Amino acid sequence: MIVLHSPAKLNLFLAITGRREDGFHNLVSVATPVEFGDTLTVEPREAGFSLACDEPTLEIDETNLVLRAARAFAEATGWTGGAHFSLEKRIPMGAGLGGGSSNATTALVALNRLAGGRLGAEAMAQVAANLGSDCALFLQGGPVIMRGRGEVVHALPEHAASRLRGRRVLIFKPAVSVNTAWAYRQMMKTVPSPYLPSFKAEERLAGWIGRSVAPAEELLFNNMEASAFAKYIALPTALGCLREEFGLAPRMSGSGSACFAFVSDATPVAAVAARIHDLWGHEAFVIETRLM
């Protein structure tokens, strides 16, 4: 039996640069896993794959990314073994935190162990990328730069990654979720275009990486915020309050609706969490964690 942590992720820098001919969008992003996440337990079976989850609203049929990852692994390797997956779900769904993608990649890692390491790093990355745009980033275990539709992943240079690792962060999400496909459609319809040309995104990212003293807060950017904020006014309202009242620099992660803010020893975290619940109700999700 294998028990693995399946982390959530944050997009600290997310520039959607335009729509591709295949219908996907190109992006430049700095993303990082965090210490908070789900737990995936994998028990070997002679054949076949099955999934159980403690979150009753999660679909556990063949459309689930964990089972899709298992089938993809079997097809890529010819492995004839099987496994039962038990998922302890903590990452909120529809949040932009990459929970499903993380679960899928974690399943690939577990199966590769069970199968004796049939896939090398490059082959694992390819299988993960074919499953979804966010999947391959979880193989790195730390901050990465993502390009293409998210499948082209490189580790962030160490001198820049060291400015991110271990930073305390508060992640919070209202009860409402933002549909990713809807968010991209809104970007396509918005005039003037919210896309950031790729050369500008690369210049902005290179500028932050090159300034050795630039703090993580100066990296933060997300041009998907405008689409979500126009419909879900509770998002910009809350972020504005946290800026005004606590001096934080909160942003949205991915297509939302989860948001985050760096905190320090001087931040009254309990008061910030209480304010978020005041604004979004008791059902709002709030967790403090650290960047990996």
Q: Is 32 helix (H, G, I), strand (E, B) or coil?
A: strand
- What is the CB-side half-sphere exposure of residue 6 using CA atoms within 13 A? 31
Cβ atoms within 10 Å of 186's Cβ, excluding its own = 19
* Residues paired with residue 18 on neighbouring β-strands, in sequence order: 26
Report pLDDT for 50: 97
Q: Which segments of 190-261 does DSSP mark as H helices, in order?
A: 198-210, 225-231, 234-246
Model pTM score: 0.94
Estimate the crossing angle of helix 65-77 against helix 99-114, to 10 degrees. 40
Report pLDDT for 63: 93
Kindly list the averaged pLDDT for each block of 10 residues, start to end, along the chain of length 292: 97 96 94 98 97 95 96 97 98 94 98 97 95 93 96 95 97 95 92 94 97 93 95 97 98 96 98 98 98 98
Q: Which of these is catalytic: 22, 134, 173, 231?
A: 134
Cβ atoms within 10 Å of 50's Cβ, excluding its own = 15
Residues 6 or more apart whose Cβ sits within 8 Å of residue 158: none
Handedness of CA 94, 98, 101, 107 (dihedral sign): negative
User: How far is the C-alpha of 153 from the C-alpha of 139, rounded, in Å?
Assistant: 9
User: How far is the C-alpha of 124 from the C-alpha of 129, rounded, in Å?
Assistant: 9
The closest of 11, 14, 17, 12 to 200, measured between CA atoms, is 17
pLDDT in tens, 133-148: 899 999 999 999 999 9
Report pLDDT for 202: 98
Report pLDDT for 4: 98
What single letter denotes the amino acid at residue 57?
Answer: T
Is 134 a catalytic site residue?
yes
Q: What are the DSSP E strand ranges found in 67-126?
A: 82-88
The mean of the pLDDT values for the chain is 96
Query: What are the structural domains of the chain?
Result: 2-157 (3.30.230.10), 160-290 (3.30.70.890)
To 5 degrees, how large is the angle CA 75–CA 79–CA 83? 100
User: How far is the C-alpha of 286 from the C-alpha of 263, rounded, in Å?
Assistant: 13
Is 9 a catalytic site residue?
yes
- What is the CB-side half-sphere exposure of residue 25 using CA atoms within 13 A? 26
The closest of 181, 254, 225 to 8, measured between CA atoms, is 254
Q: Return phi, psi of residue 41, to 5°.
A: -105, 130
